[in-house]
Amino acid sequence: MISLTDIRKSFGAVAAVDGVSLDIAPNEFLALLGASGCGKTTLLRVLAGFETPDAGRVMIAGQDVTSTPPHKRPVNLMFQSYALFPHMTVAQNVAFGLKQDGLRGAELTARVQDALALVEMDTLALRRPDQLSGGQQQRVALARCIAKQPKVLLLDEPMAALDRALRERTRLELMSLRKRLGISFVIVTHDQEDAMTMADRVAVMDKGKIVQVASAREVYERPASRLVASFFGEANIWDGVAAHGRVDCPALGAAVAVLSGLPAPGVSVAVSVRPERITISAETLSGDNVLQDAVIEDVVYLGTVTTYLVRVPGDAIVRVTRQNDAHQSFARGNVVSLAWPADAVVVLAA
């Protein structure tokens, strides 16, 4: 559906998008993920036609649209601010773009009603935006995009202003809409849960480049770089030196056994372990990687899970996440053992 080839866009001396190539399949849900300033919104605006790339080519549905203005592209962009007209009703906001395309009469009314029904806003068609909640305004903005029946729907941080409960509901609604509409979705977000929940693939950006593109599971479990490991979810990362079958990590005061990915002995590397892969116990543990005589320095209760910040003999702080149950919990000052399997370790460039 979409093919981006070597897209480059600079603002003065700053390369906002620096040589991005990416293909997006029909009916795919792709998340562009990254910290503020990484270039993800600029790339979305290039797709929408609001920015013309300095170099590269944009293809949508087999057509070269690199120089095509936004209103002539088979895409629609939902802005972070929603950009609703305050003096118009909900129905008039949704109808606005259709009228610009020349629709009138029964066809216009039907398209507006169908779009509002899809987002469950048809009963509020006569209200103005200032009479709606933030979540309802978001739905109107979404209906306005859907009404034009685009081949690609672009979403720029669409849930940034929503509370947690509404975000979770909106994620499920967007996934359902994608299935019913059969179109491609591209969402820009800095929220990892948005990407994990909705996207078929995640493209992580940094300094104008895509540093990894894969399923959310692969990005989380096998990050391609230190930056991806630290940005996409929580991760323990320790520097060390490669040896035979292990990495010597001074901060841990121990060697970390690994299964794969080691360079030649003596090369500086880093290792990453997700907090939930680490076992914590008051008893002596065994396994591939074991640290004894560790002390819990802080406890963060998060409802379904608790995160323990544990100081190990090498003086590093290890983050451990454990599902809460009625059988065992730990407190500050407890002496514990930590263990994790070798297959939980990802070797990264130093």
pLDDT, one tens digit per residue, over 79-116 is 877 788 999 999 999 999 888 888 888 989 998 998 88
Residue 52 CA neighbour count, 13 Å, CB half: 4
- The type of residue at 237 is I
Q: What is the pLDDT of residue 327?
A: 67
Secondary structure (3-state) at 104: coil
Q: Taking a C-beta distance cutoff of 8 angstroms, is the pair 236, 277 a contact? A: no
Which numeric CATH code is attached to 235-349? 2.40.50.140
Both structure tokens of 123: 């009963």
Q: Percent of the chain having pLDDT more than 90?
A: 64
Secondary structure (3-state) at 317: strand
Which numeric CATH code is attached to 2-227? 3.40.50.300
Buried b (16+ CB within 10 A) or exposed e, 274-294: bbbbbbbeeeebeebbebeeb
Instruction: Output the furthest CA–CA distance in the chain (Å, rounded).
Output: 76
> Domain segments of the chain: what residues?
2-227, 235-349
- Tell me the pLDDT tens digit for each residue of 38-83: 999 999 999 999 999 999 999 999 999 999 999 889 998 888 777 8
pTM of the model: 0.84
**How large is the average pLDDT for residues 194-206?**
92
- Tell me the pLDDT tens digit for each residue of 277-332: 999 999 999 999 999 999 999 999 988 899 999 999 989 999 999 988 766 789 99
Q: For residue 271, is pLDDT > 90? A: yes
Residue 131's pLDDT band (cuts 50, 70, 90): very high
How many residues are recorded in the chain? 350
